[in-house]
């Protein structure tokens, strides 16, 4: 019996080593696949995209939606953003166009492009919120875990990745967004042709986007969260629970993404109320290499 003991031990060691190697290989394969999809997407000269946000749960009766669409053509990116404002029975309609380090805006029916001069974090934030390039940069900088998702239809050409983001990095990113919007004296929310300041949505914690955390009065019918004074951004975010995960679908023949969904769950305290939210940002990618050209406007000072 003793002569068989070393053989059994060796068999057990091999099993453990092989199992561990398999787990490492799966993890490495998922990261490698993500990097391949990211790099292939970054290399594209042109494509179109569109998407929307879905506020699935909230203790506010008003679930403001964001719809966006756009296209990339070389260094130029055009985007149109529609923000639903149901309490005022209107939709904010803003067009953005970036080319290199220049950003242009066009509000609603205003046909002329206006060059955004100087520091304008709110408008750059709006562009980055829904630009799929910025989404991939966010994933790459904040990813905590990458895994292959089950192939629902092995006969087709599509597979999916799941990427969990780091909560601490998400909080830091959210604080930076909120602080940019509250800089004293910053003329970041004024756009030529608009009667009211333009305030972009926050990609995380959508109820916070309605302005009440800034100390501005909220005008809603139905229950909402009121704020009488400006909230300490760091304190608010520090006690926040937030988690986010991207699901990226891609074509395994071309390694190009077809659509991705960012699922965000957050919980935070505001004015003695616990706010819990579940938001999804859906982005669809198409027309690789076949989009209409983008005409860059002549520069105009605001």
> Which tens digit of pLDDT belongs to each residue from 240-299?
999 999 999 999 999 999 999 999 999 988 778 888 888 899 999 999 999 999 998 875
Fold of 29-183+198-205+229-284: outer membrane lipoprotein receptor (LolB), chain A (2.50.20)
Residue 98: pLDDT above 50? yes
Sequence-ordered strand ranges (E) for the chain: 46-57, 66-73, 76-85, 90-99, 102-107, 114-115, 143-148, 158-165, 241-251, 256-270, 273-286
CB 64, CB 206: distance < 8 Å: yes
Residue 216 confidence (pLDDT) above 60 = no
Contacting residues for 33 by C-beta, under 8 A, at least 6 apart: 148, 161
Residue 108 has pLDDT above 90, yes or no: no
Task: State the pairing for strand pair 256-270/76-85.
Answer: unpaired
pLDDT, position 160: 97
62-66, 97-101, 222-226, 250-254: lowest mean pLDDT where? 222-226
Closest by alpha carbon to 259, among 281, 283, 279?
283
Average pLDDT, the chain: 80
- Inform me whether the pLDDT recorded for 11 exceeds 70: no
Rounded to two decimals, the pTM is 0.82
């Amino acid at each position: 019996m003793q002569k068989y003991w070393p053989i059994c031990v060796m068999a057990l060691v091999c099993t453990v080593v092989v199992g561990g190697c398999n787990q490492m290989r799966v993890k490495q394969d998922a990261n490698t696949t993500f990097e391949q999809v990211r790099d292939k997407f970054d290399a594209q000269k042109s494509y179109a995209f569109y998407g929307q946000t879905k506020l699935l749960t909230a203790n506010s009766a008003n679930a403001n939606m964001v719809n966006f669409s756009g296209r990339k053509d070389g260094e130029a990116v055009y985007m149109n953003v529609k923000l639903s404002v149901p309490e005022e029975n209107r939709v904010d309609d803003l067009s953005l166009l970036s080319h290199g380090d220049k950003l242009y805006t066009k509000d609603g029916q205003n046909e002329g492009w206006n060059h955004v001069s100087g520091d304008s974090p709110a408008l750059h934030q709006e562009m980055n919120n829904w630009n799929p390039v910025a989404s991939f940069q966010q994933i790459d900088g904040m990813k905590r875990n990458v895994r292959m998702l089950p192939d629902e239809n092995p006969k087709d050409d599509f597979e999916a990745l799941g990427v969990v983001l780091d909560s601490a990095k998400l909080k830091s990113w959210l604080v930076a967004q909120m602080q940019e919007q509250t800089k004293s004296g910053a003329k970041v929310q004024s756009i030529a042709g608009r009667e009211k300041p333009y305030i972009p949505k926050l990609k995380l914690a959508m109820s916070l986007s309605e302005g009440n955390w800034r100390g501005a009065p909220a005008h809603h019918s139905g229950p909402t969260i009121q704020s009488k004074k400006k909230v300490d951004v760091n304190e608010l975010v520090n006690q926040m629970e937030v988690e986010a995960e991207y699901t990226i679908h891609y074509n395994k023949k071309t390694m190009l993404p077809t659509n991705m969904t960012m699922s965000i769950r957050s919980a935070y305290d505001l004015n003695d109320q616990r706010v819990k939210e579940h938001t999804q940002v859906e982005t669809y990618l198409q027309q690789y290499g076949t989009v209409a050209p983008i005409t860059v406007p002549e520069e105009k000072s605001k």
